[in-house]
């Protein structure tokens, strides 16, 4: 989302860093590293999506400081890799934006939490909800996990970002509503479409690339 160095107080920066490290540790423990080391296709997918996201996140519309918008793409990555690897792939992509000067290193934890971790976790929870409902049509996976999941994940990330900026005193709540929150539903549409369309394509042509897809469950 483009958090810059002057947007968070020291205490917020520390709290954000601790949350970032806690989620990162949890993500690391969920990954089956034996499978990852043996599966070359999974490795290629992991590094490939990291590079694609790194360059995709350079394409953004700048509003006020910290309120830029862009396609996240984390939902489809979560469905492809699982949320643990999706978090690492997203952080690797964020490293690319830092190296190229698009994001400040000091805000790596804040941007990682907002841009990567929140949407990955929300996408994962929606996928678990869809799995728990035991839908028998593959359209449920495409709609709920792809289109709907992506839209909700970007809404969650945007809301968290606005709460952080409001708590820091950089913007009033009225300013955030006027400059960002009232447009958030519009941001959800392209995010949902982009991720949903990609998930649909993968499900048709390369369903094996969606590691969260249980093909036996759908008719």
Beta carbons of 200 and 41 less than 8 angstroms apart: no
Is 66 a residue whose pLDDT tops 70?
Answer: no
| pLDDT of 7 over the 80 cut | no
The model's pLDDT over 81-112, given as tens digits with 9 standing for 90+, comes to 999 999 999 999 999 999 988 788 888 999 99
Q: How far is CA 124 from CA 3, 209, 215, in A?
A: 24, 16, 17
- pLDDT 10s digits, 117-147: 999 999 999 999 998 888 888 888 999 999 9
pLDDT in tens, 162-203: 888 888 887 888 888 888 888 888 889 989 999 999 999 998
Rounded-to-integer distance, Cα 69 and Cα 151, Å: 13
Question: For residue 193, what are its two tokens?
Answer: 């479409």
Quote the mean pLDDT of the chain.
88
pLDDT at 13 over 70: yes
Region class of 105: left (phi > 0), else alpha (psi between -120 and 50), else beta: alpha
**Does pLDDT of 5 surpass 80?**
no
Here the tokens at position 191 are 């995010």
Q: Where are the domains of the chain?
A: 10-217
Q: Which pLDDT band, with edges at 50, 70 and 90, does 58 fall under?
A: confident
CATH ID of 10-217, from 1.10.1760.20, 3.40.1160.10, 1.10.540.10, 3.40.50.720: 1.10.1760.20
Please count the other Cβ atoms lying within 10 Å of the Cβ belonging to residue 165: 25
Q: Which pLDDT score, from 0 to 100, does residue 57 have?
A: 86
Kindly report which listed range (3-12, 42-51, 202-211) carries the lowest average pLDDT score. 3-12
Q: Which two tokens stand for residue 171?
A: 């913007």
pLDDT of residue 48: 94
**Residue 50 predicted with pLDDT over 80:** yes
């Amino acid at each position: 989302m483009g958090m810059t160095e002057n947007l968070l107080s020291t205490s917020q920066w520390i709290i954000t860093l601790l949350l970032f490290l806690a989620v990162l540790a949890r993500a690391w423990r969920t990954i089956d590293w034996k499978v990852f080391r043996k599966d070359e296709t999974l490795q290629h997918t992991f590094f490939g999506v990291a590079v694609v996201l790194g360059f995709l996140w350079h394409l953004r519309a700048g509003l006020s400081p910290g309120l830029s918008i862009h396609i996240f793409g984390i939902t489809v990555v979560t469905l492809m890799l699982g949320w643990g690897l999706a978090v690492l792939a997203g952080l690797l992509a964020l490293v690319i934006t830092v190296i190229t000067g698009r994001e400040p290193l000091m805000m790596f934890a804040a941007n990682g939490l907002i841009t990567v971790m929140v949407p990955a976790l929300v996408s994962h929870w929606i996928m678990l909800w869809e799995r728990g409902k035991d839908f028998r049509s593959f359209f449920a996976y495409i709609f709920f996990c792809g289109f709907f999941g992506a839209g909700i994940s970007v809404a969650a990330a945007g809301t968290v970002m606005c709460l952080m900026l409001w708590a820091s005193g950089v913007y009033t709540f009225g300013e955030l509503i006027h400059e960002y929150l009232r447009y958030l539903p519009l941001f959800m549409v392209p995010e949902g479409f982009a991720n949903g369309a990609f998930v649909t394509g993968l499900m048709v042509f390369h369903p094996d690339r969606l590691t969260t897809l249980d093909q036996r469950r759908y008719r």
